[in-house]
Amino acid sequence: MLNLKMYLLLIAGSTSLITACNQNNTNHIKPVNIQSQAFKEKLIDANKMYVKQESDEIDRYVEHHNWKMTTTGTGLRYMITKKGTGAQAEEAKRAKVNYKISLLDGTLCYSSDSNGAKEFLIGQDNVESGLHEGIKYLHVGDKATMILPSYLAHGLVGDESKIPPHASVLYELELLSLR
């Protein structure tokens, strides 16, 4: 199966080749019109194909671990592994969490053990959109496991350090406090 980069290169190359072949004067190659509806539709189709492929990979990972995870409308998977008794997280509250962030191959990328607890303003600070979404399912004291597809994590470029482009990430979280 073609990956997204190969598919996009194939589309762009084919479009450029067709454009070049259709011109009478071969000295001037017309660039691909990225504003055209046809090109946009091809990009949307390529993205849908990639999202489906990534979703299937995450589903296999969850099944392999025999986890009973909830899947949200955005594609976030989560499960509460220990119930807390505190307040529920909500928008505009400052959350403090212990965490471990790993790739699905088991590579540990970051953890509060080495970096300290993470604090962020829910819905506003610059953290993964999947973390903003997932934290709202937790109460203070909850521990949870979450899988963020790449488009809810670090997307097309990764974090330019330990998380590569197009990587799904596994979060193990404990919501320590809200204020």
- Grade residue 64 by pLDDT with cuts at 50, 70 and 90: very high
Do 93 and 77 belong together in one domain? yes
Do 56 and 77 belong together in one domain? no
101 domain residue, yes or no? yes
Are the C-beta atoms of 170 and 145 separated by less than 8 Å? yes
Per the structure, the count of domains in the chain is 2
Report pLDDT digits (tens) over 140-171. 999 999 999 999 999 989 999 999 999 999 99
Do 51 and 100 belong together in one domain? no
Report pLDDT digits (tens) over 84-132. 999 999 999 999 999 999 999 999 999 999 999 999 999 999 999 999 9
Lowest mean pLDDT among 15-24, 42-51, 53-62, 64-73: 15-24
The answer to whether the predicted template modeling score (pTM) of the entire model surpasses 0.85 is no
166 domain residue, yes or no? yes
Residue 16: the pLDDT is: 46
Residue 15: the pLDDT is: 46
Do 84 and 156 belong together in one domain? yes
Residues near 158 by beta carbon (within 8 Å), at least 6 away in sequence? 164, 165, 166, 167
pLDDT at 179 over 50: yes
**One-character DSSP codes across 38-96:** HHHHHHHHHHHHHHHHHHHHHHHHHHHTT---EE-TTS-EEEEEE---SPBP-TTPEEE
34: left (phi over 0), alpha (psi -120 to 50) or beta: alpha
Q: How far apart are CA 99 and CA 175, in angstroms?
A: 9
Are the C-beta atoms of 58 and 130 separated by less than 8 Å? no
pLDDT at 19 over 60: no
Please count the other Cβ atoms lying within 10 Å of the Cβ belonging to residue 124. Answer: 11
Which has the higher per-residue pLDDT, 141 or 2?
141
Containing structural domain, residue 44 = 4-21+35-64
- Grade residue 17 by pLDDT with cuts at 50, 70 and 90: very low
